[in-house]
Amino acid sequence: MAQKKDRMTRTKQVKAIDLFCGAGGSSWGAQAAGIKIVAAFDMWPVAESVYRDNFPNVKFYSGRIEDHDPDQIAKEVGDIDLIMASPECTNHSVAKGNKPRCEKSKDTALQVVRFARAFKPRWVVVENVVSMQNWSKYAGLIQEMAGLGYHNLAQKLNAADFGQRHLN
């Protein structure tokens, strides 16, 4: 028993950064699973305020992610094991309605490659809407990540299949 406990105490805690963190839903779930969030990124002031309230010990980087130098940030926050990313999804989805799509906004997903290249984490998890797979640059994104040594495993999840169901 002592040997097993000793081995468990030596287990390294997984450290992560959260790109496009919003108010912190992914960070909240990861933290609940025992992951230490060391940095978060978002450009929306309201999300930043909520995130800082919920995660006061996490280094928050505000502003456009394109304006941040991931190599410098890697020096500031140190090694990480996981990148969680939830790039802008409205321009990929039906939520945009009939309005024109913004390619520049969709391109934020390409920042995941830049951060993966700088941090070299063991895992990268990108969350988005299913229709992102129809994006003209999706295959290129997957190829660039493969070029960095990552394997792609796309999963289509339906939120209705998770959580507590309420019956009326």
Give the model's pLDDT for residue 80.
Answer: 98
Tell me, yes or no, whether 158 lies in a domain. Answer: no
Q: Is residue 6 part of a domain?
A: no
- Measured between alpha carbons, how far is 89 from 80 in angstroms, rounded to an integer? 25
Q: Does the CA dihedral 28-156-164-13 come out positive or negative?
A: negative
| Count of domains for the chain | 1
Residue 159 in domain: no
How far apart CA 122 and CA 148 sit, in angstroms, is: 11
**pLDDT tens by residue, the chain, 168 residues:** 444 454 545 578 999 999 999 999 999 999 999 999 999 999 999 999 999 999 999 999 999 999 999 999 999 999 999 999 988 755 445 665 666 655 555 678 899 999 999 999 999 998 875 767 777 888 999 999 999 999 999 898 888 887 766 555
* Within a domain: 2: no
* Domain annotation covers residue 115: yes
In this predicted structure, what is the pLDDT of residue 1?
A: 47
**Residue with tokens 């951060």, as numbered in its chain:** 115
163: in domain: no
What single letter denotes the amino acid at residue 58?
V
Instruction: Establish if 116 belongs to a structural domain.
Output: yes
| Identity of the residue numbered 82 | L
**CATH number, domain containing residue 115:** 3.40.50.150
Concatenate the DSSP letters of all residues of 23-64 into one string: TSHHHHHHHHTTPEEEEEEE--HHHHHHHHHH-TTSEEEES-
* H or E element in which residue 18 lies: strand 15-19
* Domain with 42 in it: 13-89+107-150
**Is position 160 within any domain?**
no
Q: Alpha carbon of 88 to those of 46, 58, 114, 159: distances in Å?
A: 16, 22, 16, 18
